[in-house]
Amino acid sequence: MASSATQVGLTWVLDVTAGVYEMLEVTTCPYCNNQAMSAIRKLFFGPALSAHCGSCGKRVGVPPAAILAVTPFIFSILLAGFLAQRGLQLSALSLIAGFLATVAIHTLLVPLVARDA
């Protein structure tokens, strides 16, 4: 029985490690394939902003479609306006949920791309 518990624990550790590895792939430089920046720094990027890779120094940014990651937050602002009549708590919950969804989408799904300039 102890060996199966160890196996379950090992599987969980491998799953968590794979999740972290996939998250690092989103912050990987398209030029050198090393980690270009932290996921938190990438959160502040839009299609018009770019920065230098921390490893090779070339310019990287996010694709123009990254602007779509803001859609849940915009929807939550509209929803909060409609929910304002029912109470501040529902409006605040809507805004928090929209913000967290936007952060998750931008962090996990928006890749870094090469910038020519």
User: Coil, strand, or helix at residue 61?
Assistant: strand
What pLDDT score does 45 carry? 85
Contacts of 5 (CB under 8 A, 6+ apart): none
For 37-55, give the DSSP string. S-HHHHTT--TT-EEE-TT
What pLDDT score does 28 carry? 87
Residues 59-77, mean pLDDT to the nearest whole number: 93
Tens digit of each residue's pLDDT (9 = 90 or more) over 9-36: 333 344 444 554 455 567 888 899 898 8
Token pair of 31 as six digits: 């030029």
